[in-house]
Structure 1
């Protein structure tokens, strides 16, 4: 190699190294707003901090986290259109995460847009068919639409994956009761309580089911126990009062 060529390589390497260091520092500077977004506590603080941080973030994963954090904060603030826009951005960045569709589904559902909510719930099931939460979410949307048999099928699918999920037993029990299968509902509520005695909603639902079955003694026992932990529940108190007057 000619000496002149070898000599002029050293400055070039130095410039390249300086360029790489400068680019790295620039990237770090651009992402410096992320910690304030990450550490914000209240929903308004999250919106403010993440809004400041997002334009400067160049790291794709940090962008996902910032959009997710701000989107969830918008849901908490009931600003559903803004939340949906953030979840749209999330899905454009990474359309392979079922949870992102699930979050957007919830925003659509809270807004009352059940058609879009169901489309997102379907997408989440396609992306994560082995996870119970996607079936629960879709079952809830079906319930919103009055499609109770579809809800029960989804809750049952979730229970095939997570048979020890007390919440899914309560969800399915509620729908069974609405369809008139009171004994099936009682079985689900009882299983929920066997799995988690602290799941007090199961006590209320089972107590109301016992009322329908004409079993006032068991209804009173469940509703009284439920009201010990939820004394402000007017519906349960009214049901107990009616039983007591008979």
Structure 2
């Protein structure tokens, strides 16, 4: 019997438009406002200082609003970010940065039609950055337009063949379309460009869903190697081990998963399955009950307890 997995099906998070104005003509506040290494808090404070002095006008003032909007977006203060980005568009309607960053706020607010319209305008003003296409692809995907999303990721990759995020996102959409060959190719390229934990988990999920369990286990093992205190690699590999009948290995992996993430209901449920297969009835009952404590009504845990005579 297959056991449920807390699947890490994740469209990789899309980067926002980086500040684009040169810092050479300003003082420390201006440099922090537009500098690529500023934290969101630093950016918001510095851009506020620039705006409040009243020393900037036109496109430079629009840039300060655009970059403060960027910082506020990173802080998830979306209404305040939208106000800044509206002002940036008003001050410089030919400034692609403002449309890119405002589109990202609309996307976070799940207003995908407005997000796509702003990305359209940003691309019309400056069709060169890969980021705008990748971000528009994310919004198209969120609307359910999978083919439109792939088309945008295609362009993003043509603009920047080393853009790992675009490969990750295109791979995810191909996986949703059950196009295993293209999904694996994109995830493999992503791993070559940026071999982080999510890269291996995403490819492992495709191997898992296409019944290539040894390869899935190997990718989850790489995720564990890269991030041994992250529960995701452990619980994904634990599920594969249970699929393969390695109940002791599955139990060991779920022990680790719960050590690092004791709030994951599926790890409790799946570890209960492993314990049940290994003859530890009381341990299984305890784990199923914990799963139900975390998620009342979890059907698999309820059915397992009922079969064990322990409702």
Instruction: Please indicate the TM-score interval, normalised by the length of the shorter structure.
Output: 0.7 to 0.9
Note the C-alpha offset of 1:145: 1.3
Asked whether the equivalents of residues 68 and 84 of structure 2 are also in contact (C-alpha less than 8 Å), the reply is yes
Asked whether the equivalents of residues 173 and 184 of structure 1 are also in contact (C-alpha less than 8 Å), the reply is yes
Q: Distance in 2 between matches of 1:50 and 1:34?
A: 12
In the alignment, what sits opposite 2:227? 230
Note the C-alpha offset of 1:232: 4.9
Number of residue pairs the alignment of both structures matches = 213
* 2:145 pairs with 1:147: yes
In the alignment, what sits opposite 1:168? 166
In the alignment, what sits opposite 1:158? 156
Q: Distance in 2 between matches of 1:164 and 1:49?
A: 32
In the alignment, what sits opposite 1:84? 82
**Residue 207 of structure 2: which of 205, 210, 221 is its match?**
210
Q: Distance in 2 between matches of 1:237 and 1:222?
A: 11
Give the number of the structure whose residues are more often helix, by fraction.
1
User: Which digits, 9 at most, give the CA deviation of each residue in 1:133-162, with x for residues without a partner?
Assistant: 111010000111122111111111222222
* 2:123 pairs with 1:130: no
Asked whether the equivalents of residues 34 and 57 of structure 1 are also in contact (C-alpha less than 8 Å), the reply is no
* 2:29 pairs with 1:36: yes
Bigger CA radius of gyration: 1
Q: Give the TM-score normalised by the residue count of structure 2.
A: 0.62
Asked whether the equivalents of residues 69 and 84 of structure 2 are also in contact (C-alpha less than 8 Å), the reply is yes
Note the C-alpha offset of 1:240: 0.8
Q: Distance in 2 between matches of 1:52 and 1:99?
A: 20
Note the C-alpha offset of 1:172: 0.6
Q: Which runs of 5+ in 2 are unaligned?
A: 1-25, 245-311
| RMSD after superposition | 2.4
Q: Which runs of 5+ in 1 are unaligned?
A: 1-32
**Residue 105 of structure 1: which of 92, 100, 103 is its match?**
103
Asked whether the equivalents of residues 137 and 149 of structure 2 are also in contact (C-alpha less than 8 Å), the reply is yes
SS at match of 1:95: coil
